[in-house]
Chain A
Amino acid sequence: MSIEQIAAKVRSGERVRAEEALDLYRHAPTPVLGRLADSVRARKHPGGIVTYIIDRNVNYTNVCVAKCNFCAFYRPVGSAEGYVLGFEELFRKIDETIAVGGVQLLLQGGHNPDLPLTWYEDLFRAIKGRYPAFKLHALSPPEVIHLSRLSQLPVADIIDRLKAAGLDSIPGGGAEILVDRVRRLLHCYGKATADEWLDVMRQAHRAGLRTTATMMYGTVETDEERLEHLLRLRALQDETGGFTAFITWSYQPSHTELGGVEATGVDYLRTLAIARIVLDNFDNLQASWVTQGGKVGQLSLAYGANDMGSVMIEENVVRAAGAAYCMDEVEIVRNIEDAGFVPMRRNMHYEQLGDPMFRQRDVPRMLELATARAAGEATIPAELRLYPARSRLLKAQRSSLESQDKT
């Protein structure tokens, strides 16, 4: 089939097959891909509305035993740079988020062996107790699997318990590329195989939770593997319909063990566009301005994206790998309007919440994203003592502290 024939298929709303998608991805000129993706977006969102969410992206711990080789964020157990945020610190962050009109915390972190399931349950209950309407979009599939292994409970039970404690939805992080050959090379096969990642999402959807899906490209995968990733997501979405959105971003190589270079801006726009074409059963595609910068982030709106993501307020993971872009609500709205779209605040379910917050009341401008903790801040939250240590290092530290207390 020629590119023009495949393009005609996309225009008429027909589903593309794997080999057709590969042909488009490899051979269609970038503007042709952009136009096709834009036609799909316009069909799904005829009103020209581009949404965004005001939420805060918080990483509750950077201590992680998974050690993915593409990750610049994690610190091993016992590292002087390792941290766990305390409940009070998290409450403060929520207060700040609510002050700028935020509705949700995107809460993700490392696989910290010293944070048992009960820590998460207590945290979620405490948050919901204080902020009943505030949403928790938390714990990507590998974190759920980590908790399942740590507590030796099935994934479905973990999801049920977290949901009972206040979990509202699950972010699609940790998907990287859902092909085990790639996952082995990235040292992330152990944290979750492709099937395991998809199964957490399946279980979450069955439990009535909505989730997002992601793809991090530009490491060791082939074009075919990028498409296999998209096709696996499409198949699960056919089965459950539980994904609200898809987000793709390029691997950020700075300070990682894997190293290498970042995929280019044009590659991002092509990848976003092919995702919009292949993921015909996903309503929403986000622009990743946090990895691509505001300019390419805005151009994403011409290549299939209908959502500018989050104002984030805080960011730690991508910054650790070398990218530090910032867009507050004013900037996001300016970019949406400048591209000819209508900006609208939303929640995680993509329900429209209203016009920009800063047009309704004074909201402080934000010219830089916050970090999890101020530089040099190294306090250990008091409540951590209430939870049993699992790592040998923390156990040893605890017993030495206890013997000091006794003497």
Chain B
Amino acid sequence: MPVSDAELALLAVSHDIVSIGMQADEVRRARHGTRTTFVRVAQIAADPGAPILALPAAGEMCITGTPASRAAAIERVRQVATAAGNIPVSAFSLADLEQLAVAEGIGLRVLLEDLRAAGLELIADAPIDRLRDARRSIEEVNIAGLVLARLTIHQDRSPDPLSVFKAVATLQRAVGVVRAFAPLPRAIDAARPTTGYEDVKRVALARIVADSVPSIQVDWSLYGPKLAQVALTVGADDVDRVSPEDDQTAGPRRAPLEEIRRNIRAAGLEPVERNGRFDIVRPFESPRVMSSAAGGGAAHDERAR
């Protein structure tokens, strides 16, 4: 659905978030229908000495944090890849790897190839507002035989996010390998958190502007179930970083897996579990008719949304 620059500028300043959301939802449904993917991600510290908890339910083992050196990065990837078995391993921010390559006096591609040889499949994230040369670095990821798990925004929260979304669209036209884009900033300012309107508008505009990126993603652990669920109704189609620790101590209905499925269904959508490779690991299961006692309320009719 092509939208002119003038229309986009109007949407960006509008307070009519319901209409913006509807427009984005149309784009999302044209591409994905009601299918909504989610991935359970195990997060592992970058320090080679830190323990690695084996979580077989994870669809992605993600090494987080900044590696101290090239050798430490390679060593950590090797350790995690060994423990991961068939679970895809992702690691590091591409922006940190750009800096590490400079600090080590090597090319980024050399570093990426080293990591791949150690067992890495995916670069965990590429924050577009922190990358020195987004296009070139993402191409290097591709050439090194790695996959970019998600394009992200680190901190940008300008009231007009259009320019960064247009940059994402341009980037995707050039590289064509961005599988998922998370438009809500990763760094949250506790003293001045983003508002619900800001978040909804960002997700919706990202879907409309970056229409060549397959998935618009929302982070479950960072933004919480309520905002993440609303995001799914205004353009997002993928939920990132659901906990793989299926702790049922608070009862099976409150365990993360059931929670994410319940929230997706209550938004009138179909939950589909994927892994870090975007392979479906658990196909859509026919939803049980939810009773209000399960907090479903008027969520019986999935077509209603």
Contact = CB atoms under 8 A, between A and B. Distances in A.
Contacts of A251: 295
Interface stretch (A107-115, A263-271, A371-379, A397-405): A263-271
A145 B147 CA distance: 65
B301 A264 contact: no
Interface string B261-305: 011001110000000000000000000000011111111110111
A219 B294 CA distance: 7
Nearest to B269: A266
Contacts of B88: none
A178 to B, nearest CB: 15
Nearest to B297: A267
A73 interface: no
Contact of B266 (A266, A294, A334): A266
B233 to A, nearest CB: 6
A261 B254 contact: yes
A152 B245 CA distance: 55
Given A35-B18, A297-B196, A266 B295 contact: no
A299 B194 CA distance: 12
Contacts of A335: 195-197
A339 B297 contact: no
Nearest to A265: B226
A217 B297 contact: yes
B132 interface: no
A251 B292 CA distance: 11
Interface stretch (A11-19, A23-31, A87-95): A23-31
B21 A226 contact: no
Contacts of A266: 229-230, 233, 266-267, 299, 305
B253 interface: yes
Nearest to A254: B250
A34 interface: yes
B298 A271 contact: yes
Q: Select the residue from A38, A217, A268, A295 with max chain B CB neighbours within 10 A.
A: A295
B151 interface: no
Given A261-B294, A267-B295, A271-B298, A338 B226 contact: no
A221 interface: yes
B292 A218 contact: yes
Contacts of A274: 298
A26 B18 contact: no
B32 interface: no
Interface string B235-267: 000000000000000010110000100110011
Contacts, number: 140
A25 B229 contact: no
A218 B295 contact: yes
A250 B194 CA distance: 23
Interface string A206-236: 0000000000011111110010000000000
Q: Select the residue from A262, A266, A293, A299 with max chain B CB neighbours within 10 A.
A: A266
Interface string B4-30: 000000000001111101100100000
A260 B250 CA distance: 9
A38 B25 CA distance: 19
Contacts of B259: 261
A29 B304 contact: yes
Contact of A260 (B227, B230, B267, B295): B295
Contacts of B196: 294-299, 335
A57 interface: no
A294 B195 contact: yes
Interface residues of A, number: 48
A266 B197 CA distance: 14
A89 to B, nearest CB: 30
Interface in A244-295: 250-251, 259-271, 274, 292-295
B229 A220 contact: no
Interface string A118-131: 00000000000000
Contacts of B267: 30, 264, 266
B18 A31 contact: yes
A340 interface: yes
Q: Select the residue from A226, A265, A302 with max chain B CB neighbours within 10 A.
A: A265
B271 to A, nearest CB: 13
Contact of A299 (B193, B197, B224, B225): B197
B297 A294 contact: no
Q: Select the residue from B18, B25, B298 with max chain A CB neighbours within 10 A.
A: B298
Contacts of A334: 192, 195
Contact of B300 (A26, A34, A262, A265): A26
B190 to A, nearest CB: 8
B60 interface: no
Contact of A25 (B224, B233, B295, B298): B298
B25 A267 contact: no
Nearest to B253: A261
B292 A222 contact: yes
A267 B18 CA distance: 15
Q: Select the residue from B226, B251, B300 with max chain A CB neighbours within 10 A.
A: B226
A296 B230 contact: yes
Q: Select the residue from B196, B224, B254, B263 with max chain A CB neighbours within 10 A.
A: B196
B41 interface: no
11 contacts: A26-B300, A27-B301, A31-B22, A262-B295, A264-B299, A267-B266, A295-B195, A296-B227, A299-B200, A299-B230, A335-B195
Given A38-B18, A265-B227, A295-B226, 19 more contacts: A27-B303, A29-B304, A30-B233, A219-B293, A223-B297, A226-B297, A260-B293, A260-B294, A260-B295, A263-B296, A264-B225, A264-B262, A264-B267, A264-B295, A266-B266, A267-B297, A270-B297, A293-B226, A296-B227
Interface of B: 15-19, 21-22, 25, 192-200, 224-227, 229-230, 233, 251, 253-254, 259, 262-263, 266-268, 292-301, 303-305
